[in-house]
């Protein structure tokens, strides 16, 4: 599939948004959906719907197969060793909560340390925060440097003999920094510390190989990967999923239930209690196929070129200040504009059909460090073009004019 | 939608040069308004005398042009006002921002009405209503007003 006409695959771009062509620069928040994904949801509900993993009628068996097919597609996509290392959750947030909760319950005690970074999204801080109260666990934050990076050395400096788990982002949703996650994992493992990677921004943009990366846990948000909302993935090494206690209790995750006690089901059912987001899982299979058709390497190359172009355009604009200049940068352009608050920027840009995000992007720790209460952020996806970034710049000039 | 209606001259002026900005000494009441969506903060300081009259008022904070302008206009308007006038004007403003096409209170002078109505553009931008009301909610807490149980949009 060629990248040239890729916008055509996304129906949202066929319609005007408030009389404008949509310039969608909010993919780090959530990506748009290709027609194949939308169609798959419709088809499943209209022709194939049944619950999975329970009944033995025709539709139930077929739906179960479709559901499990996505698990295999995900396994191959991230090169996990075993398909049972893929757990479906309601989002990346739930994936991280699952690990914080079960790992915390079993392995953490008072005085133990969880090492995060100052780059973390709230979803990779708040779940660990609960362990402060319940267990007296200490949370440490590896510092972000002036480029918006967190280096291997900084991680190393923050590891102590109390560090029990390291939970870090793969790619910062504000500074765009791509962390040296493989090296960090190697370092952590040399000290017997497991590593969780928040891959919300990594998975949609970078080629993943779990066996090479060797991390213990990797959280994925499907709606940022051209997939449906309400779905996330937890990759976890099999030994962890076997060792850790179940997370939520309910139907589907048990083996035998008696008045005196309960035994739990095998993987992956152990972590998939209740009726799962069946249609979303099945449709997400189409998202993976869509990405595979283009090739994640091609997507990455396209987005990296656009990021460089976007930085060039914005650097030329004297009133714009780019936030973060990391060594290795993903397709995120955070910035401020002299004399105009990010919320005002977002409203004015919206008038031209340019959709960006303004605020703290769920990273208040990071913004406190920057000394800013808010930033504006343009983030890219496969469908973006240089013209989109030119329009961004033009609309920023309009902001300047209004506030001059 | 019309940007000119949202970013009127009065708003741009108050947004850029907010009046009554900065904490003053001798305040005896204060409260903070916070918008968790964007992290904007407005802290309102009052000097209330025994008759519950606002002898002095100021604010500190950071935020968008709308929230700064709204705080600035509010502090200008509320100086020397006393309870229950403050409450009446506050409720009238919040009602106008959320639904009413006009300000109804007789306590607000025509020129003051013009200033307050300049904020009415946010009605077309539902995500920005909170920006226009953040300072007013802080004022309500500083005045110890409580939300009406039957109408959460109204202070009693």
The per-residue pLDDT for range A206-233, each reduced to its tens digit, is 999 999 999 999 999 999 999 999 999 9
Looking at A292, A327, A356, the residue that finishes a domain is A292
Question: Smallest CA–CA separation between B150 and chain A, in Å?
Answer: 32
Q: Find, in chain A, the residue whose alpha carbon is nearest to that of B16.
A: A339
Of A344, A358, A374, the CB nearest to B65: A344
Q: With CB atoms and an 8 Å threshold, state whether B37 touches A359.
A: yes
A327, part of any domain: yes
- The residues with which B33 forms a beta bridge, in sequence order, are B42
- Residue A264 in contact with partner chain B when CB distance is under 8 A: no
Of A340, A351, A374, the CB nearest to B39: A374
Q: With CB atoms and an 8 Å threshold, state whether B64 touches A341.
A: yes
Whether B2 has a pLDDT exceeding 80, the answer reads no
Q: Domain of A79?
A: 39-292
The answer on A303 and A288 residing in a single domain is no
The answer on A311 and A220 residing in a single domain is no
The answer on A307 and A246 residing in a single domain is no
Chain A residues within an 8 Å CB radius of B126: none
Which one-letter DSSP state was computed for residue A211? H
pLDDT band at A13 (very low <50, low <70, confident <90, very high): very high
Q: With CB atoms and an 8 Å threshold, state whether A343 touches B12.
A: no
A247, part of any domain: yes
Query: Mutate which of A344, A359, A400 to test chain B, going by most B C-beta atoms within 10 A?
Result: A344
The answer on A241 and A383 residing in a single domain is no
Q: Find, in chain A, the residue whose alpha carbon is nearest to that of B17.
A: A339
Better pLDDT: A252 or A141 = A141
CB neighbours of residue A250 within 10 Å = 11
Nearest-angstrom CA–CA distance, A68 and A45: 17
Distances in Å between the alpha carbon of B42 and those of A42, A66, A256, B69, B135?
Answer: 46, 52, 56, 11, 6
Beta strands in A126-245 (DSSP E): 138-142, 163-169, 195-198, 217-221, 232-236
Whether A312 has a pLDDT exceeding 80, the answer reads yes
Question: Smallest CA–CA separation between B148 and chain A, in Å?
Answer: 30
Of A364, A402, A403, the CB nearest to B39: A364
Q: Spell out the domains of chain B, with CATH numbers in brackets.
A: 3-155 (3.90.1010.10)
- Residue A374 in contact with partner chain B when CB distance is under 8 A: yes
Active site residue A362: yes
Q: With CB atoms and an 8 Å threshold, state whether A373 touches B63.
A: yes
A173, part of any domain: yes
Tokens for A181, please give them: 């996650």
A1, part of any domain: no
Looking at A292, A317, A350, the residue that finishes a domain is A292
Nearest-angstrom CA–CA distance, B52 and A212: 69
Question: Smallest CA–CA separation between A197 and chain B, in Å?
Answer: 26
pLDDT band at B1 (very low <50, low <70, confident <90, very high): low
Nearest-angstrom CA–CA distance, A27 and A25: 6
Mean pLDDT of all residues in A187-202: 98
DSSP A283-344: HHHHHHHHHHHH-HHHHHHHHHHHHHHHHHHHHHSTTEEEE---SSB-SEEEEEETTB-HHH
- Residue A377 in contact with partner chain B when CB distance is under 8 A: no
Nearest-angstrom CA–CA distance, A117 and A173: 13
Chain B residues within an 8 Å CB radius of A18: 1
* Predicted confidence (pLDDT) per residue in A230-248, tens digit: 999 999 999 999 999 999 9
Distant-in-sequence, close-in-space partners of B100: CB < 8 Å, separation ≥ 6? B92
Tokens for A224, please give them: 């940022």
* Predicted confidence (pLDDT) per residue in A36-78, tens digit: 999 999 999 999 999 998 899 999 999 999 999 999 999 999 9
A203, part of any domain: yes
A231, part of any domain: yes
Question: Smallest CA–CA separation between A340 and chain B, in Å?
Answer: 8
Looking at A292, A311, A342, the residue that finishes a domain is A292
Nearest-angstrom CA–CA distance, B95 and B77: 17
Distant-in-sequence, close-in-space partners of A201: CB < 8 Å, separation ≥ 6? A28, A169, A170, A171, A172, A173, A224, A330, A332
Which one-letter DSSP state was computed for residue A202? T
Q: Find, in chain B, the residue whose alpha carbon is nearest to that of A359.
A: B38
User: Containing H/E element for A116?
Assistant: strand A113-117
The pLDDT value given to residue A110: 98
User: Containing H/E element for B6?
Assistant: helix B3-6
The pLDDT value given to residue B3: 85
- Residue B12 in contact with partner chain A when CB distance is under 8 A: yes
The answer on A204 and A117 residing in a single domain is yes
The pLDDT value given to residue A242: 97
The pLDDT value given to residue B126: 87
Question: B79's torsion region: left (phi>0), alpha (psi -120 to 50) or beta?
Answer: beta
The answer on A329 and A195 residing in a single domain is no
Residue written as tokens 């993903």?
A330
- Residue B129 in contact with partner chain A when CB distance is under 8 A: no
* Predicted confidence (pLDDT) per residue in A133-174, tens digit: 999 999 999 999 999 999 999 999 999 999 999 999 999 999
- Residue B38 in contact with partner chain A when CB distance is under 8 A: yes
Q: Which of A293, A326, A290 is nearest to A307 (CA)?
A: A326
The pLDDT value given to residue A399: 95
* Predicted confidence (pLDDT) per residue in B6-60, tens digit: 999 999 999 999 999 999 999 999 999 998 877 789 999 999 999 999 999 999 9
3-class SS of residue B29: strand
Mean pLDDT of all residues in A270-297: 97
Phi/psi at A166 (5° precision): -115, 125
The pLDDT value given to residue A2: 78
Query: Mutate which of B40, B61, B67, B130 to test chain A, going by most A C-beta atoms within 10 A?
Result: B40
Chain B residues within an 8 Å CB radius of A343: 38, 40, 63-64, 66, 128, 131
The answer on A125 and A60 residing in a single domain is yes
The answer on A311 and A241 residing in a single domain is no
Q: With CB atoms and an 8 Å threshold, state whether B38 touches A347.
A: no
- Residue B104 in contact with partner chain A when CB distance is under 8 A: no
- How many CB contacts within 8 angstroms connect chain A with chain B? 51
Nearest-angstrom CA–CA distance, A134 and A290: 43
* Predicted confidence (pLDDT) per residue in B96-130, tens digit: 999 899 999 999 999 999 999 999 999 988 889 99
The pLDDT value given to residue B154: 87
Nearest-angstrom CA–CA distance, A365 and A131: 18
Of B1, B37, B65, the CB nearest to A341: B65
Instruction: Look up the pTM and report it.
Output: 0.94
Mean of per-residue pLDDT scores for chain A? 96
- How many structural domains compose chain A? 2
- Residue A358 in contact with partner chain B when CB distance is under 8 A: yes
A331, part of any domain: yes
Mean pLDDT of all residues in A112-130: 97
pLDDT band at A404 (very low <50, low <70, confident <90, very high): confident
The answer on A313 and A223 residing in a single domain is no
Question: Smallest CA–CA separation between A206 and chain B, in Å?
Answer: 29
The answer on A356 and A238 residing in a single domain is no
In chain A, count of helices (H) and strands (E)?
13, 15
Nearest-angstrom CA–CA distance, A373 and B64: 10
The pLDDT value given to residue B36: 81
3-class SS of residue A144: coil
A330, part of any domain: yes
The answer on A284 and A170 residing in a single domain is yes
Asked whether A270 and A98 are in contact (CB, 8 A), the reply is no
Question: A57's torsion region: left (phi>0), alpha (psi -120 to 50) or beta?
Answer: beta
Tokens for A393, please give them: 């710049």
The pLDDT value given to residue B71: 97
> Domain containing A305 — which CATH number?
3.90.1150.10
Nearest-angstrom CA–CA distance, B142 and B156: 13
| Percent of chain A residues past pLDDT 90, beyond the cut | 96
The answer on A379 and A231 residing in a single domain is no
Cα-to-chain-centroid distance, residue A294:
20
**Around A311, how many Cα atoms within 13 Å sit in the side-chain half-sphere?**
18
Chain A residues within an 8 Å CB radius of B64: 341-344
The pLDDT value given to residue B124: 87
> Domain containing A197 — which CATH number?
3.40.640.10
């Amino acid at each position: 599939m060629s990248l040239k006409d890729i916008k055509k695959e996304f129906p949202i771009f066929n319609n005007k948004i408030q009389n404008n062509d949509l310039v969608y620069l909010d993919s780090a928040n959530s990506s748009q959906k290709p027609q194949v994904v939308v169609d798959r949801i419709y088809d499943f509900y209209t022709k194939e719907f049944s619950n999975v993993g329970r009944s033995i009628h025709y539709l139930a068996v077929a739906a179960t197969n479709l559901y499990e097919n996505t698990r295999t597609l995900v396994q191959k996509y991230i090169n996990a060793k075993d398909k049972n290392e893929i757990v479906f959750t309601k989002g990346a947030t739930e994936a991280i909560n699952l690990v914080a909760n079960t790992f915390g319950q079993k392995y953490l005690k008072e005085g133990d340390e969880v090492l995060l970074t100052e780059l973390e999204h709230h979803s990779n801080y708040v779940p660990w925060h609960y362990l402060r109260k319940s267990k007296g666990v200490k949370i440490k934050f590896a510092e972000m440097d002036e480029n918006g990076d967190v280096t291997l050395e900084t991680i190393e400096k923050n590891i102590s003999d109390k560090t029990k788990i390291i939970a870090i982002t793969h790619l910062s949703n504000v500074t765009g920094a791509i962390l040296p996650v493989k090296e960090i994992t190697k370092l952590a493992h040399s000290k017997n510390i497991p590593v969780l990677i928040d891959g919300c921004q990594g998975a949609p943009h970078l080629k993943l190989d779990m066996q090479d990366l060797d991390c213990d846990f990797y959280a994925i948000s499907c709606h940022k990967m051209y997939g449906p909302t309400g779905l996330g993935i937890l990759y976890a090494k099999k030994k962890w999923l076997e060792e850790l206690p179940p997370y939520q209790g309910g139907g589907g995750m048990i083996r035998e239930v008696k008045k005196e006690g309960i035994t739990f089901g095998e993987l992956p059912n152990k972590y998939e209690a209740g009726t799962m987001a069946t249609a979303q899982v099945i449709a997400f299979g189409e998202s993976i196929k869509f990405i595979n058709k283009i090739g994640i390497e091609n997507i990455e190359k396209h987005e990296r070129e656009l990021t460089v172009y976007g930085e060039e355009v914005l650097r030329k604009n004297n009133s714009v200040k780019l936030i973060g200049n990391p060594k290795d940068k993903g397709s995120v352009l955070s910035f401020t504009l002299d004399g105009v608050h990010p919320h005002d920027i977002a409203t004015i840009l919206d008038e031209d059909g340019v959709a960006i995000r303004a605020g703290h992007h769920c990273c208040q720790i990071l913004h406190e460090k920057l000394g800013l209460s808010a930033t504006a952020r343009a983030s890219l996806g496969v469908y973006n073009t240089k013209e989109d970034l030119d329009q961004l710049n033009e609309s920023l000039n309009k902001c300047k004019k209004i506030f001059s | 939608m019309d940007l000119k209606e949202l970013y009127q001259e009065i708003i741009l002026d108050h947004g850029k040069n907010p009046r009554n900005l900065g904490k003053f000494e001798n305040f005896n009441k204060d409260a903070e308004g916070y918008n968790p969506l964007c992290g904007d903060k407005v802290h309102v300081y009052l000097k209330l005398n025994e008759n519950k009259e606002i002898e002095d008022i100021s604010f500190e904070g950071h935020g968008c042009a709308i929230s700064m302008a709204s705080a600035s206009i509010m502090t200008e308007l509320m100086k020397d006002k006393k309870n229950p006038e403050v409450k009446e004007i506050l409720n009238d403003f919040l009602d106008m921002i959320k639904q009413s096409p006009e300000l109804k209170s007789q306590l607000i002078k025509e020129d003051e009405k013009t200033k307050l109505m300049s904020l009415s553009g946010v009605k077309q931008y539902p995500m920005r209503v909170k920006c226009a009301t953040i300072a007013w909610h802080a004022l309500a807490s500083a005045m110890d007003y409580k939300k009406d149980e039957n109408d959460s949009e109204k202070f009693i």
